[in-house]
Amino acid sequence: CGRSSRFKVASTILRNLPGTRFLVLTASLDEYTLFRVKKFPLHGFLDKSSGTITHLILALQVLAAGQNYFSEA
C-alpha cells in the first residue's frame, strides 16, 4: 500500500463516515508525508520515533476527548 493510497482510503472513510477521527502513526517523516499530513483533515499525528507507548496512549486519550494531538515532527 503506497503512501498516496493511504490518504485515498482515509478520504473515502471521511466521505462516508464524517465523524471519524484520524490519528496517523508513522515513521515516514519525509517532506511528502509532512505535506500530506498538513493538507489532510487529521485529528492527530504521532511520530513512531517519539518514544514510548505512553505517547500513543496519550494521543488516543486526547482524540477520544474530542481534541487534536500532534507530536513534534
12, pLDDT greater than 80: yes
Cell reading at 5: 493510497
DSSP string, 11-60: HHHHHH-TT---EEEES--SHHHHHHHHHS--SEEEEGGG--HHHHHHHH
pLDDT at 4: 63
* 17-35 pLDDT per residue, tens: 988 888 888 777 778 777 7
The residue count of the chain comes to: 73
Cell reading at 48: 513512531
Are 9 and 36 in contact by the 8 Å Cβ rule? The answer is no
* 43-64 pLDDT per residue, tens: 888 888 877 788 899 999 999 9
